[in-house]
Amino acid sequence: MKNRCGPFILTILLMLSSSTGVWGEEVRKTSAVKIAAAINIDGDLSDEAWKKIEPITGFIQFEPHHGQPSTLKTEVKIAYDDRAIYFAFYCVDPDPGNISASITKRDGDITEDDAAGVMLDTFNDNRTCYLFGTNSLGTQFDGKVADNGRSQDTSWDAAWQSAAKRTEDGWTAEIAIPFSILKFKSGKGRIWGLNIARAYPRTRESSFWVGPMEDPYRVSQFGKLVNLELHSQGRRYTIMPYAISQFQAEKKPEGKAGVDFRYRLTSNMGADITINPDFATVEADVEQINLTRFELRIPEKRPFFLEGSEYFRTRISQFYSRRIGDIPWGAKVTGKVSGWNIALINAQSDPASTGAIPVSEDKKALYSVFRTQRDILGNSNVGLIFANRSYQGENKGSVGMDTTLFFTRTLGMTAQVVKSYGPVKDGTWAWLLRPSYDSATGHFHVRYSHWGEGLMENMNAIAFIRDDDRREVDSRLVKTFWLKKGGFERIEFDTNYNQYWSQKGVLRSWESDSELSITLMNKWELELEHNEEFKRYEKDFRNRETDLSIGYDTRTGRSFNISYGIGRNYDNDMKLLEGEVQFKVSDAWNVQYGLTKLWMTPDLENESTWIHVIRSNYYFNKDLFLKLFFQTNTVIDKKNVQALFVWRFLPPFGSLQIAYQRGTSRFGTKSDQGNTLFTKLAWVF
């Protein structure tokens, strides 16, 4: 360890000692007006309370003309009482008849619409914040940001209010955020970090109250909301019981119940406990084509593991929640104590329920993850993470240390060192250094990584290590040019080079990938990508692929994209066709269709396939909707159908759900599951 990791630790210490951490720029400040009575949230700004408050103005563009004043007039007012903080948005539009309003799904990408939102750094730590946004339909978007913008969690949901209204000269919106859903320190004279955003998709303009931002979520660049007088958040607990019934053709009806319990330990820390959780109504995994010899990383969709996942994200992925199958119980603690961010997960599961390995069903494994981070130098951090699976007396996992450093607004570095443990005693270390440059229009990084030979065997019971036995060099350059003339809106160039050797110095792979993307003023998009790679396995392979993509986006809820690629993959000639269409049938109804077609010649491994995916959502209102999901994968003869009706009578958690499913929702597997009906009732106390 001394020989391999000494330079790593020395480099970190030198950079820590030389970094100033604070850039000496003037911080924009504002205050909120304390009011006696709650504001009625209806999108209409005629409430008497708003008339007495001076608006925030002077927004700065992030795109397309970085650092220039916004071309749009935006006014925001802030008020608060003992229970909530309120925001009013007045968004002037030069063409109000063409306001984009297509996103009706909660946590959908509302930046595709005319939208506005706030970001609240309630710890004032320059690293973490809450997100709250809405569009001109009143659709809600919420989430959390960690690591000074490097990690975002849009799965976090909370109960708050939003409403919007069209006007003759644009649109208005109101947001009410209860203090009970936030973590903060109470008292007088409190300061929160604050930024406010507006999206205008017709010209791709995004602007912020504080700017120019180098990244939309760069918390360390936020302004300040000062002189807050904050009391207790109110009730300390929330209980969310549920009951579900299942009716499957030719089988006996089944039923079960469970409960989620949330408790605020302190004003800065909360605990979540789930008992017998149900994920039957979670959307199925989308089928993908894998042209590599490595495992695909499948996105997590289960709410218990999604919420708070931003705390556990590291470049060497020590925790991968998809390793955990069905759980009878789970517990989480997240928050902040004396400058330390703390996150803990414990859950029990049968490893066989992931479908990965055959083990005895009466044996359970215990999965434990502990994460802590300390803010340093104003806007950087250093952290520790421990991840372990205990099963039948054997422990597998890792202990790691990582840091994210910001030397200036654009220069930074991430670094991590990991020690794995388990049955393999040699090759148990991993570490990386990644200095980078990030601005609003460019990115550059160089990364060196060391991956010991025993990492996968030791860590992949709870981690995601795609490959080991590597000494790896990686670099990437991305540059965006905003032209706004000659028919061109913007041009982006992206190039990446990666090469790695075994620990014995044998070349295992090199890869070069270049991409040119052109967006035209008439809303057409063109993209050309070329990839060349060398792989050494049982023999040497030279793979290549060239793709041409054409797309059109109205920026009003209608778009399509089609790409066609040809190349060679592990001694097979390949052709790849991919396409996607999004169509807004009405303000309430949208449809999305995607296809993937792969041809392999010769096809000795039976890899040629068709994949079709259809999604459709119909919103009677934002809390009453119907969702449809259908997909097929011909290579495994898989057909999967899900239909879900949801009525959120106590949004977002109190709901009635009726679901129909046929076929398994698990990625890459076929199921003989027949017609199945689920009915789920969840309540909130």
Q: Given CATH 2.60.40.1190, say whether it is the number of domain 32-230.
A: yes
- 414 phi/psi in degrees, rounded to 5: -115, 145
Domains of the chain by residue range: 32-230
pLDDT in tens, 549-583: 999 987 777 899 999 999 999 999 999 999 999 98
What residue ranges of the chain have pLDDT lower than 50? 1-22, 356-359
- What percentage of the chain exceeds 70 in pLDDT? 93
Alpha carbons 169 and 462: distance in angstroms, whole number? 54
pLDDT of amino acid 439? 92
Query: What single DSSP character describes residue 303?
Result: H
pLDDT (0 to 100) of residue 493: 98
pLDDT of residue 41: 96
User: How many other CB atoms sit within 10 Å of the CB of residue 140?
Assistant: 25
Q: What is the pLDDT of residue 2?
A: 41
Residue 491: per-residue pLDDT? 97
Taking alpha carbons only, the member of 120, 33, 130, 83 closest to residue 233 is 83
For residue 641, list its beta bridge partners: 630, 662
Contact of 63 with 206, CB cutoff 8 Å: yes
- What is the reported pLDDT for 7? 43
pLDDT for the residue 68: 95
Cα dist. 557→272, 366, 583, 642 in Å?
Answer: 37, 45, 6, 23
Torsion of CA 44, 49, 54, 57, to 10 degrees: -30
Instruction: Count, in order, helices (H) and strands (E) of the chain.
Output: 4, 38
Cβ of 189: how many Cβ atoms within 10 Å?
9
Helix (H, G, I), strand (E, B) or coil at 600: strand
For residue 585, what is the DSSP state? S
Contact of 451 with 469, CB cutoff 8 Å: yes
Q: pTM for the complete prediction?
A: 0.86
Supply the pLDDT for residue 356.
Answer: 47
Query: What tokens were used for 8?
Result: 């790593």
DSSP-derived pairing of the beta strands 187-200 and 170-178: unpaired
The 10s digit of each residue's pLDDT in 311-332 is: 899 999 999 999 999 999 999 9
* Tokens, residue 448: 């060196």
Question: At 662, phi and psi to the nearest 5?
Answer: -140, 125
Question: Among 88, 191, 104, 86, which residue's Cα sits nearest to residue 140?
Answer: 104
